[in-house]
A and B are shown apart, each in its own frame.
Chain A
């Protein structure tokens, strides 16, 4: 190098200038350091040559070697199944990431010594029996993929990885200082595979509606099954391949995650329904029949009458979506009852008695028996589970009973064959047909209801009056209307497992006069709850039949809307006028008739009770129900309660009140939640009751003076009633404008529609008399219309 050259010159100069002892030393250092430097340079040169040779001689081979160490196997990237939320975005079902533990015996067997610590690590971190893993590796030394444990959480996986890291470091330390080497954990033989696990944060909530997912990701029952393909996405893939000249290319096709469902269910309303159902069933357990809950099954549907959206759908018994086969979450009694219904007998007690006498030789036999018994028990448990998984509201049919009368009356009014002012005379029974075919059907009131108007016939639920109407309507028309109400057809609600009822209603050929007569009061043909509820909605919403549905929106992975599911109007079944009349009749049922117990404190509602004898079974069993709508003036929701075989002290007609009470319980909580305000006076009892429930708390006691001013402008006849009414609602009224104030956000609300009013918009803002008068006028108009 050039510098070496100049060094020599410098050295020469030094030599000449300092000829002392120090200089001698200098000279020698200089000479030798150049030599040493030259040697170092040589070594460097040698190393460069060495590197170049490695690259030249073995380059290709090593390149391939490097590539061969990479994984080319394509790896599946699992998609995430979409979530299910309620209408407000509360998550009902979602998928979380978990891992599968994969054991690669082939790699592990490569280094026999490392198997043992690896097995120990697995058994310690994941609680797997060490013997199993050891045995598996020994027996399947060439296996490259075996899932040893599923659904390992991220934390568990991290804990394992830390354990391995620590252990291997320890071993490495130990090994360096020791003659005898300890084996390390073989990290390469164990790996984790991504997976998703379905989880339901609310456990049993809306279990029938949601359905669950099997471990391999297939939806079962409910929304999970119906929307299986929507919820599922498609798996992605990661794979490597070789290009020319040994370049490795890795490509990732990302997974497409599934869509999220926004269901129409409101989890609050759903929860209320489920709690009330549970309360009823636990309260009436053992009451009439020993060892049974309050009913065989209790179903509730809450629907929005203007869109066919189902707000809640619940039944009893329930199950835990996270562990659908686990019967232990049910009350012990109920579990035993369900098991015994499927033919399961507990033999434990007998066993213990005989065990004392049996000899030792019998023990094997006993064990066999024990195993047999367990097997049977499992099979029965499975059967029971399968029954529970079914959604009562859509997959079980029953005779609607008196609820069906509403539809008969609506048919008559709409077809012009029955009129509001008709009078029917009930003598306690009706005989029809001639000669040998003559049939007599009794009214539930054996002594007869006497002369009844159409409205009274509905209120009193008189069979004879209904049969007389049926004779006017006639078979053809009756069947046509039934079809319009969707009886005998599936509603095609977006839930898996809706029952077919086409064979459970009559057709032209099967319907004789007797069948027509029984059909008029809801016996003889079968419906499902969803059919009845959807049809009833059309009676109180102006006659429009909407297809019932459970999902209102489908969102993609990023939350963007893929599809809005709009209310689907199928047909107009009755005219608006008839609908108004049906509302009026419904109000009558609750005010004057059989449904008095269904009215929640402070509200005006309407509805129809139902009691049906259950066919078959020999014994007299009943299905009682109540179909209610609220608020009475402008129906928003329909609440339909069905109690199958109520286990109550009073049976038959009298048991119907339990359905009413259940409906009342539900409405009492749901109506305020839905911002539907009280319109009726409260009796002292009701006040006390509401106070107990904690629902009167938000009503302040002040501002009495203003209210009387308001009520003073009402018409005289209504004054008394109005004043009482004001006690309830006026307390929530803005003294300036006469508008209701939303207790939650202080917004002004229209007292009729419940819609918020823009208080800044002008006219209604000021406190002058005109404005109040306008308000009052509006009230009167609306009321007049309903009358």
Chain B
């Protein structure tokens, strides 16, 4: 944190090891939660996760090794459009049934043979790239309504497409969240922010109005709204999706201060659906207790604080915005995930970065961390 580092930083060990620690904890928890349902090979989930994380680490070091100028070029005028456009084409490939893979009732994965890719993760990176590139190229435009609106429009359209094509509301929200916060960071005109906030509030108001006007019958309403109703009172809608939330709550509640001990969760055995995935934090709470939960959150705080430091120390705007975007990505997912598990927010299906089981997410988060470390090095 001294001034010497300003010229050129080295490999960011702190960031790397905090991530590694989170990943190790994640593997342990995935093993603990998945063995019971893994069938023949108790390590099958762990193996797949390790493969994804291995790929992610390769991506991380690859990005770390390529010249920084290349990254910057990718953020410049024609290329950033290609990057964003490419990611959206990838997203649209989901519409081709032969290429897509469907699971849990949603078509969110591209079948790459050995690996299922979630294009929404690619769109997330692309949006971060695009916004960072655009703003750093035209730092003054962003303070005018045209530039601001353009950026906002790109973010909203990307988020909308993710929602429309892969019916993935959470990813859409995360993309919009990242974009909006990046705009908030870079634009100095408060009037524009207020305007955007006003427009946003208006849209949300209209949406809620529309939902409330539709029938209250649980079976007929949109399932996202159903989740809102479930959130309001999970025990009243046990059969309509409240079950998962309620079981997660039971798991957290039964953990106590120090937890039941690693591997000793009762709830993971069958009660919580998708326990190794979105709901993994509930078992962290059950097995490791409040202490474990706080430790996990502290690790994330460390990670994010490190990201913030890099943002502050970065040499150029592009790097700052890039790191800020990644930081927001991680922060939003952590907050959303834990909020869902604790029933603070309706169930949206967000995974916990570095801990939840999920190949695409792990790989791309590590790639994003590669960007952060690259910026940190410069």
Partner-B contacts on A (CB < 8 A): 1, 3, 6-7, 10-11, 13-14, 21-22, 24-26, 28-30, 32-34, 36-37, 40-41, 43-44, 46-48, 50-52, 54-55, 58-59, 61-63, 65-67, 69-70, 111, 172-177, 179, 181, 248
CB contacts under 8 Å to A, within B303-328, are 304-305, 308-309, 311-313, 316-317, 320-321, 324, 327-328
Q: Is the CB of A47 within 8 A of B344?
A: yes
Task: Confirm or deny: B277 has a beta carbon within 8 angstroms of a beta carbon on chain A.
Answer: no
From B112-120, B151-159, B204-212, B251-259, the one touching the partner chain is B251-259
Q: Which residues of A contact B290 (CB under 8 A)?
A: 48, 51-52, 55
Chain B contacts with A in 285-342, Cβ cutoff 8 A = 285, 289-290, 293-294, 297, 300-301, 304-305, 308-309, 311-313, 316-317, 320-321, 324, 327-328, 331, 334-335, 338-339, 342
The answer to whether A47 touches B309 (Cβ under 8 A) is no
- Cβ–Cβ contact B311 & A33, under 8 A: yes
Q: Which residue of A lies closest to B182 (CB)?
A: A29
Cβ contact within 8 Å between A29 and B185: yes
Distance in angstroms from B274 CB to nearest chain A CB is 11
Look across to chain B and name the residue whose beta carbon is closest to the beta carbon of A187: B270
Given contacts A30-B312, A51-B293, contact A25 B335 (CB under 8 A): no
Asked if A47 contacts B342 (CB within 8 A), the reply is yes
Contacts of A51 in B (CB 8 A): 252, 285, 290, 293, 338, 342
Residues of B within 8 A of A41 (CB): 301
A50 lies within 8 A of B320 (CB): no
Contact present for B297 and A47 (CB under 8 Å): yes
B302 nearest CB neighbor, chain A only: A3
Chain B interface SS verdict (over half): helix
Asked whether A34 lies within 8 Å of B308 as measured between CB atoms, the reply is: yes
Interface flags for B25-43 (1: CB within 8 Å of A; 0: not) read 0000000000000000000
Which partner residue on chain B sits nearest A27 by CB separation?
B188
B96-141, CB < 8 A from A: 102-106, 139-140
* In the complex, residue of chain B having the shortest beta-carbon distance to the beta carbon of A24: B188
Given A10-B1, A66-B266: A47 and B339 within 8 A (CB)? yes
Chain B residue nearest to A50 (CB atoms) is: B342
- 5 residue pairs, one from A and one from B, having the closest CB atoms: A176-B105, A62-B253, A173-B105, A63-B254, A62-B250
The answer, yes or no, to whether B44 is at the interface (CB within 8 Å) is no
Task: Name the prevailing secondary structure of the A interface residues.
Answer: helix
Question: B317, A54: Cβ atoms under 8 Å?
Answer: no
Other A-B contacts than A43-B335, A47-B344, 10 sampled, CB-CB below 8 A, are A7-B308, A28-B186, A29-B311, A29-B320, A37-B305, A47-B342, A48-B297, A66-B266, A66-B271, A177-B167
Is B79 positioned at the interface, with any CB of A under 8 Å from its CB?
no
- Check B321 against A29 for contact (C-beta < 8 Å): yes
Q: Is the CB of B250 within 8 A of A37?
A: no
B: residues with CB less than 8 A from A are 1, 3, 102-106, 139-140, 167, 181, 184-186, 188, 219-220, 223, 239, 249-257, 266-267, 271, 285, 289-290, 293-294, 297, 300-301, 304-305, 308-309, 311-313, 316-317, 320-321, 324, 327-328, 331, 334-335, 338-339, 342, 344
A47-B297, A70-B266 known; A62+B254 contact, CB < 8 A:
yes
Report whether A61 and B253 are in contact in the complex, using a CB–CB cutoff of 8 Å: yes
Contact A21 B139 (CB under 8 A): yes
Which of chain A's residues have a CB closer than 8 A to the CB of B188? 24, 28
Q: 7 A-B Cβ contacts within 8 A?
A: A6-B1, A10-B1, A10-B312, A51-B290, A52-B290, A63-B253, A177-B167
Report the Cα distance A3→B301, complex, angstroms.
11
Q: In the complex where A10-B313, A54-B342, A179-B220 touch, is A173 in contact with B104 (Cβ < 8 A)?
A: yes
Residue in B closest to A47 when the chains form the complex, CB atoms? B338
Contact B186 A25 (CB under 8 A): yes
By a CB distance below 8 angstroms, the chain A residues around B271 are 66, 69
Tell me, rounded to whole Å, the shortest Cβ–Cβ distance linking B275 to chain A. Answer: 13
Bound: A61/B246 CA distance, A: 12
Contact among B106, B300, B324 for A176, CB-based, below 8 A: B106
- Using Cβ atoms and an 8 Å threshold, which residues of chain A touch B167? 176-177
Are A22 and B267 within 8 A (Cβ)?
no
Contact A66 B254 (CB under 8 A): yes
Whole-angstrom distance between the Cβ of A117 and the nearest chain B Cβ: 15
Output the nearest chain A residue to B300 by Cβ-Cβ distance: A44
Provide the bound-state CA to CA distance between A33 and B320, in Å: 10
Give the residues in chain A near B104, CB-CB below 8 Å.
Answer: 172-173, 176
Contacts of A37 in B (CB 8 A): 304-305, 308
Q: In the assembled complex, which residues on chain B have CB atoms less than 8 Å from the CB atom of A36?
A: 181, 184-185, 328
Contact B185 A50, beta carbon cutoff 8 Å: no
Shortest beta-carbon distance, A339 to chain B, in Å? 53
B240 to A, closest residue via Cβ:
A181
Residue numbers in B under 8 Å from A11 (CB-CB): 312
Take A50-B342, A55-B252, A63-B254 as given contacts and tell me if A44 and B297 are in contact as well, using a CB distance cutoff of 8 Å: yes
Q: Are A55 and B312 in contact (CB under 8 A)?
A: no
**The residue from B294, B331, B342 contacting A40, defined by CB atoms under 8 A apart:** B331
Q: Tell me, in angstroms, the Cα distance from A179 to B188 when the chains sit together.
A: 45
Q: Are B317 and A58 in contact (CB under 8 A)?
A: no
How long is the Cα–Cα vector from A572 to B220 in the complex, in angstroms? 94
A29→B255 CA distance, assembly (Å): 40
A172-B316 Cα distance, complex, nearest whole Å: 48
Chain A residue with Cβ nearest B139 = A25
Complex Cα distance A22/B186, Å?
11
CA–CA, A176 to B305, complex, Å? 38
Q: Which of B251, B308, B321, B334 contacts A66 (CB 8 A)?
A: B251
Bound CA span A3–B303, Å: 12
The answer to whether residues A26 and B250 also contact, given A32-B185, A41-B301, A176-B104 and a CB cut-off of 8 A, is no
- Report the bound CA distance from A525 to B57 in whole Å: 95
Report the separation of the CA atoms of residues A268 and B188 in the bound assembly, to the nearest whole angstrom: 99
Q: Contacting B249 at CB < 8 Å: which of A10, A30, A58?
A: A58
Interfacial chain A residues near B327, Cβ < 8 Å: 33
A734 to chain B, nearest CB (A): 57
B250 and A174 within 8 A (CB): no
Q: Shortest CB–CB separation between residue A190 and chain B, in angstroms?
A: 15
Cα distance, A501 to B376, chains bound together (Å): 103
CB–CB B256/A22 < 8 A: no
B249 touching A173, Cβ below 8 Å: no
Cβ contact within 8 Å between A29 and B267: no
Say yes or no: A22 contacts B266, CB within 8 Å.
no
* Bound CA span A10–B312, Å: 8
- B105, B301, B311: the one within 8 Å of A177 (CB): B105
Q: Which residue of A lies closest to B222 (CB)?
A: A179
> How far apart sit A248 and B269, CA to CA, in the bound complex (Å)?
14
Given contacts A33-B185, A173-B105, contact A62 B249 (CB under 8 A): yes
Assuming the contacts A10-B313, A50-B344, A174-B105, asked whether A29 and B324 have C-beta atoms less than 8 A apart, the reply is yes
**How far, in angstroms, from A47 to B296 measured CA to CA in the complex?**
12
Option from A22, A47, A176 in Cβ contact (under 8 Å) with B317? A22
